[in-house]
């Protein structure tokens, strides 16, 4: 860790922060102290739309800003008569002449922009919004982050372009406490936060859940939003820890776009395009279409990937106050499944390139979605929004089984693995309907920002699983081996079984599972303004969920001809839960807020209790407190959050030694008697561009452990969660200081550092044998220990460097990732040990249309 922070110091972090103390523009520091003033004002759009997309800039300079949602703005400018240019898409721009006096604030009268035909040309705005001025759309309620008693974070498109982000993990490297916990099979990045996994219920695109079994495409993103902590009041059944929302690029009325080509190490090629504009000369219909194709090999022997992506969208202005946004999304991803390098007796067998799958393995996934969002501003205070969405997800997996059962006995067979095969086919249809009403009003001295809403969604899923066929020589057994290899030397010659699997088509149908999960919820949330300094956020949601499942099982040993099912198992679950939320915000000064909050979430359980009834959901309590700061006149945002999350009624098995076990109505009873606790602290720092510099930094500490269990030791850490993470990105744009230099003004450079601390893989060892409820003994009755073991995963430090240059419409960016060539792993149990990427190079050539 000391090397990490020393490197940040050496790379310019401290000078950037010191520079920030003098304000948002320090190009001529000495001169500004003697000759600068402030302009404040408010911009109103004639049709009542929010003004947060307006550009306010000082003509002839690089100084500018964007107003807050209510139209208010604050801008530093040189002393003397200045011309402000105020403009926005689809509105007639205006110029205002104003005299700026030294060290004084000049307040302008409210300015109204009327609808107009003139389109906004491209401008450079060095101001922009700070971290605590960007409300997240995933939060639904239109409140400023400083008034939200919850940690939120937004990563904008400019950062993604500066860092040349390729995967979602590249974007997450800017967010404290949200991390990749595994890359099982190499086809997805499994995300977690605060000790809890982000399932498909926790991942959203444009406010709609999406199946995260596929790596999402980053090139289409306008921004990424993170809402940490509980989001159950807004979305119902979401795991604790937070939610992630990917916001794609939106239609624009001015015409433009870009084309680009990215190339990189290991044969990587990625052409991409983005076009947008009004349909014809219309000021009521606009479109956008972006897409990409990607192909490349890998640092992993035998691994390759191909993907095609399209993201079309259309915006219709139905009335001056009503818009309909229709968005589509298509992704086809075909890659080699990769379960890593293998482990022997819970020991990682170090390698970066060793590949253990069969040559014809593949993981083919397609995902298609359509979303329609209707937004109507009823008046200046009230808005209604309706969303309808559909998503189709298909996956076909043909792969070797995960590497388990590897021989660990020293000798000639050490490292041998009898390799099996797996095959599944998954299809899923997802439907969503959502309606939200938001508004602001007062009752006496109380101010209200109210959200009332309802949602309903449905998953229809079908999963076909295949298994091993009947042996031709032993009718009561199955053939389970494709071949035998040595994981340390896959080319080693080994005597093969006489009878073995011939390929994926030799597998037979094992089961057909049909699911039809249905959910509905009603929620209300109100931000009560008790005074200018004190605010309370209170809300409640009621959620209902049905989880029917129909499983058709087959007699696999005799099922040679894929005949109809032999058995049928039907299960029905009905769950409901209340999710409250209560938060308090105190703002001692305008730029600082202190907050504390409580919320809970719920997790449905699949088990059966002692009486034979389905287990109720587990309720998870979440406590959060922190401070949010806008420092140096908004040039730097610095937030600190502490949290504690407790699942005090976690489902666990009733052990056979329990007196109640003998009278249980089921052979595998469970009860809500376990407990898992997660606690930690997070720091997030972001700056506006200051004298050409921009900074993002963060740190997180987390400890997630069993704090009550009948088989796990109290205090034992849960797997996959790093105790520490730290991140810092520092970028410099030469245009700010060298605007008059033709050669330097298009140059920018940056460094990104990311640290992941110690983690655990493998499997948590158990102090009691779950099958007997007693301490472990061997076959002779002698005391022994659990076969499960934990794996200590090496911490690692990633350091990326990038350089970009733009001249008129052309741009070139180059990047070196993992400059220090660090080696570590992402683990799932002990059977998907995937090394992180080595040092790689990439370059992107772009052209603006």
Q: For domain 256-415+428-467+517-848, which CATH number applies: 3.30.2320.20, 2.40.170.20, 1.10.3720.10, 1.10.10.10?
A: 2.40.170.20
Average pLDDT over residues 395-412: 95
Contacts of 613 (CB under 8 A, 6+ apart): none
Average pLDDT over residues 37-50: 77
Contacts of 56 (CB under 8 A, 6+ apart): 41, 43, 64, 65, 66, 67, 73, 75, 84, 85, 86
pLDDT score of 826:
93
State the Cα angle at 138 between 136 and 141, rounded to 5°. Answer: 75
- HSE-CB at 351 with a 13 A cutoff on CA atoms is 18
CATH number of the structural domain 131-248: 2.170.130.10
Decide if pLDDT at 122 tops 80.
Answer: no
pLDDT score of 124:
40
* Residue-wise pLDDT tens digits, 593-609: 999 999 999 998 988 99
Beta strands in 321-445 (DSSP E): 322-335, 343-344, 347-348, 362-377, 382-400, 416-419, 421-443
* Residue-wise pLDDT tens digits, 327-355: 999 999 999 999 999 999 999 999 999 99
Stronger pLDDT, 98 or 731, i.e. the higher one: 731
* Residue-wise pLDDT tens digits, 167-185: 999 999 999 999 999 998 8
Which sequence spans correspond to the domains of the chain?
Answer: 26-113, 131-248, 256-415+428-467+517-848
**Residue 842 vs residues 441, 557, 848: alpha-carbon distances, Å:** 52, 51, 20
pLDDT score of 725:
97
Ramachandran angles phi, psi of 214, nearest 5°? -130, 145
Average pLDDT over residues 229-255: 92
Task: For tokens 């010659």, name the residue.
Answer: 493
Give 532-536 contacts, CB < 8 A, sequence gap 24+.
532/587, 533/586, 533/587, 533/588, 534/584, 534/585, 534/586, 534/587, 535/147, 535/584, 535/585, 535/587, 536/582, 536/583, 536/584, 536/585
Cα torsion 585, 587, 591, 593: sign:
negative
Ramachandran angles phi, psi of 504, nearest 5°? -65, -30
Report the CATH fold assignment for 26-113. Answer: Immunoglobulin-like (2.60.40)
pLDDT score of 134:
73
Question: How many H-runs (helices) and E-runs (strands) does the chain carry?
Answer: 6, 48
Structure tokens at 364: 């083919």
Cα torsion 55, 57, 61, 63: sign:
negative
Percent of the chain with pLDDT strictly greater than 90: 69
Percent of the chain with pLDDT strictly greater than 70: 91
Q: What is the pTM of this model?
A: 0.84
CA distance 32 to 26: 7
pLDDT score of 120:
39
pLDDT score of 109:
79
Query: Are 724 and 701 spatial neighbours (Cβ–Cβ below 8 Å)?
Result: yes
pLDDT band at 380 (very low <50, low <70, confident <90, very high): confident
Contacts of 157 (CB under 8 A, 6+ apart): 221, 222, 223, 249
Beta strands in 530-635 (DSSP E): 534-546, 549-553, 567-571, 574-589, 592-603, 618-631
Contacts of 709 (CB under 8 A, 6+ apart): 652, 674, 675
Query: In 3D, which of 640, 746, 650 has the Cα closest to residue 683?
Result: 640
pLDDT band at 690 (very low <50, low <70, confident <90, very high): confident
Query: In 3D, which of 8, 10, 31, 1 has the Cα closest to residue 691?
Result: 31
Query: Are 77 and 85 spatial neighbours (Cβ–Cβ below 8 Å)?
Result: no
CA distance 566 to 175: 50
Q: How large is the angle between the packed helices 2-10 and 13-20, nearest 10 degrees?
A: 60
Contacts of 643 (CB under 8 A, 6+ apart): 194, 228, 229, 622, 623, 624, 625, 678, 679, 680, 681, 682
CA distance 849 to 847: 6
CB atoms within 10 A of CB 489: 11
Average pLDDT over residues 236-263: 94
* Residue-wise pLDDT tens digits, 134-148: 778 888 888 888 999
């Amino acid at each position: 860790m000391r090397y990490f922070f020393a490197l940040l110091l050496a790379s310019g972090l401290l000078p950037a922060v010191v520079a920030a103390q003098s304000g948002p523009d320090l190009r001529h520091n000495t001169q500004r102290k003697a000759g600068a003033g402030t302009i404040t004002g408010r911009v109103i759009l004639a049709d009542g739309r929010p003004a947060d997309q307006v550009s306010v800039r000082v003509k002839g300079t690089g100084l500018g800003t964007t107003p807050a949602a209510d139209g208010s703005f604050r801008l530093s400018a040189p002393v003397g008569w200045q011309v402000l240019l105020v403009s926005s898409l689809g509105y007639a721009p205006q110029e205002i002449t104003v005299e700026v006096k030294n060290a004084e604030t000049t307040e302008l009268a409210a300015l109204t922009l009327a609808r107009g035909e003139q389109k906004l040309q491209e401008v450079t705005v060095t101001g922009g919004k700070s971290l605590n001025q960007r409300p997240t759309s995933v939060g639904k309620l239109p409140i400023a982050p400083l008034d939200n008693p919850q940690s939120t974070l937004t990563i904008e498109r400019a950062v993604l372009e500066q860092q040349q982000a390729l995967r979602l993990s590249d974007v997450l490297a800017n967010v404290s406490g949200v991390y990749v916990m595994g890359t099982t099979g190499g086809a997805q990045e499994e995300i977690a936060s605060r000790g809890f996994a982000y399932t498909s219920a926790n991942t959203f695109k444009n406010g709609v859940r999406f199946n995260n079994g596929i790596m999402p495409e980053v090139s289409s993103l306008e921004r990424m939003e993170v809402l940490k902590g509980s989001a159950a009041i807004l979305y119902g059944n979401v795991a604790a820890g937070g939610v992630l929302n990917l916001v794609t690029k939106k239609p624009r009325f001015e015409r433009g776009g870009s084309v680009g080509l990215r190339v990189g190490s290991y044969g990587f090629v990625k052409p991409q395009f983005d076009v947008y504009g009004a349909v014809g000369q219309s000021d009521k219909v606009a479109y956008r279409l972006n897409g990409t194709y990607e192909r490349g090999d890998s640092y992993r022997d035998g691994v390759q990937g191909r993907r095609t992506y399209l993201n079309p969208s259309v915006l219709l202005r139905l009335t001056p106050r009503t818009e309909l946004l229709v968005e589509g999304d298509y992704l086809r991803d075909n890659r080699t499944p990769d379960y890593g390098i293998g482990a022997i007796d819970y020991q990682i067998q170090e390698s970066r390139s060793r590949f253990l799958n069969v040559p014809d393995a593949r993981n083919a996934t397609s995902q298609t979605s359509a979303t329609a969002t209707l937004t109507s501003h009823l008046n200046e205070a009230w808005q209604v929004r309706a969303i309808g969405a559909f998503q189709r997800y298909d996956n076909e997996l043909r792969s070797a089984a995960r590497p388990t059962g590897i021989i660990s006995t020293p000798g000639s067979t050490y490292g041998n693995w009898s390799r099996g095969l797996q095959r599944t086919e998954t299809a899923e249809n997802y439907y969503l309907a959502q309606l939200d009403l938001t508004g602001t009003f007062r009752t006496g001295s109380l101010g209200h920002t109210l959200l009332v809403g309802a949602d309903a969604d449905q998953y229809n899923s079908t999963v076909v699983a295949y298994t091993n066929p009947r042996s031709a020589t032993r009718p009561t057994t199955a053939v389970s081996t494709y071949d035998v290899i040595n994981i340390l030397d896959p080319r080693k010659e080994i005597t093969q079984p006489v009878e073995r699997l011939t390929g994926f088509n030799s597998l037979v149908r094992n089961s057909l599972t049909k699911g039809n999960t249905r959910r509905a919820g009603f929620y209300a949330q109100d931000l009560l303004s008790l005074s200018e300094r004190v605010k309370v956020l209170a809300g409640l949601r009621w959620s209902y969920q049905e989880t029917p499942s129909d499983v058709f099982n087959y007699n696999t040993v005799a099922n040679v001809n894929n005949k109809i099912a032999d058995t049928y198992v039907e299960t029905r679950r009905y769950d409901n839960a209340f999710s409250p939320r209560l938060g308090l915000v105190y703002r001692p000064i305008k730029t600082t807020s202190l907050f504390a909050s409580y919320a809970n979430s719920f997790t449905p359980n699949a088990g059966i209790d002692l009486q034979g009834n389905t287990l109720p959901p587990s309720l998870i309590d979440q406590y959060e407190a922190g401070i949010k700061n806008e420092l140096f006149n908004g040039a730097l945002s610095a937030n600190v959050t502490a949290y504690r999350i407790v699942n005090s009624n976690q489902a666990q098995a009733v052990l056979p030694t329990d007196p109640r076990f003998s009278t249980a109505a089921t052979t595998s009873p469970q009860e809500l008697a376990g407990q898992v606790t997660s606690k930690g602290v997070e720091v997030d720092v972001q700056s506006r561009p200051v004298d050409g510099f921009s900074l993002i930094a963060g740190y997180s500490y987390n400890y997630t452990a069993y704090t009550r269990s009948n088989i796990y030791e109290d205090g034992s850490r849960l797997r996959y969660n790093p105790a520490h993470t730290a991140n810092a990105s520092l970028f410099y744009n030469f245009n700010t200081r060298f605007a008059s230099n033709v050669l330097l003004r298009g140059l920018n450079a940056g460094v990104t550092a990311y640290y992941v601390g110690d983690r655990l893989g493998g499997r948590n060892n158990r102090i009691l044998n779950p099958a007997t409820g007693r301490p472990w003994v061997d076959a002779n009755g002698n005391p022994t220990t659990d076969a499960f073991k934990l794996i200590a995963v090496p911490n690692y430090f990633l350091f990326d460097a990038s350089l970009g240059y733009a001249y008129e419409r052309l741009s070139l960016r180059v990047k070196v990732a993992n400059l220090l060539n660090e080696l570590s792993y992402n683990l799932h149990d002990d059977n998907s040990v995937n090394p992180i990427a080595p040092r790689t190079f990439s370059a992107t050539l772009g052209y603006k249309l």
